[in-house]
Amino acid sequence: MPAGRAMTRDSVKQRLILTFGWCLVFAACDGPRRGGPEVSPVYNQETGKLEKLVSDKNGDGKIDTWAFMDGAVLKYIEQDRNGDGQPDRWEYYEEGTISRPGRILRADEANGSSRLVTRREQYEDGLIRRVIDDTDADSRPDKWETYDAGRLVRVDLDLVGKGYPSQRLTYGEGGVVTRVETDPDGDGIFAPVPTGGSEN
C-alpha cells in the first residue's frame, strides 16, 4: 500500500476514534461501557476511502453499532439494540463532517418480532419534533407524539383500534399531564374527560 495512503488512514482513524463519541451520542446510545467502546474503521479495499465505523457499544463481544461514512462525512447509523445481529434502529443525518457534524433528521425503529419499522421519529434543528408509533406492530399507527424544543407536549392514542386518535394527553413542565381529552368517534373534536373519569 502506498505510504501516503497509509498515513492518511492512520490520521483519519485517530480523528474518527476521538470523535466517535459524537456518533454514539447522536445514535441515542445509553453511554459507552467502561473504558469506552472500541471503534474499528472499515475502508474500501480499492480506494482506501473510509466506508464504515463499527463498534460494540454494550461490550458483549458483538458489533451492535454501524456508522456508514463517505470518507469523513456521516451518512447514517444503524444499531442492533436487542443483540440478534440485525439492525433495528436507523438514523439519518444532514450532510456534515467530523469537525462539523450534521444534525439528525429522522430515525426509524423496528420494535416488533421482525424488521418492519414500527416507530418513526422526525427532528427539527437536531431536536425531536414528532413521533408516529405502531406499538402493537399491526402495521397501523396507534400513538402520535408531539414535541416542542425537544420536550414532550402531547400524546394522541388510538384506544379503540380504528386507526385514529381517540384520547389526547397534554403535558406541562416536568412531564406532568395537565389535560386529558377524548374523541371516541374520530371526528377530530376532543372533549375534556371529567375529573376522575377515564375512557373505557
Question: Residue 24 burial by CB count (10 A; 0-12/13-18/19+): exposed, middle or buried?
Answer: buried
Higher-pLDDT residue of 20 and 157 is 157
**What's residue 140's pLDDT?**
93
Whole-prediction pTM: 0.77
- Read off the pLDDT band of 35 (50, 70, 90): low
Higher-pLDDT residue of 75 and 154 is 154
- Percent of the chain predicted with pLDDT > 90: 58
Higher-pLDDT residue of 81 and 16 is 81
The Cβ of residue 198 has, within 10 Å, a number of other Cβ atoms equal to 10
Cα torsion at 4, 6, 7, 12 (round to 10°)? 120
What sign does the CA torsion over 119, 144, 25, 101 have?
Answer: positive
What rounded mean pLDDT belongs to the chain?
82
Which among 136, 135, 144 is positioned nearest to 169, based on CA atoms? Answer: 144
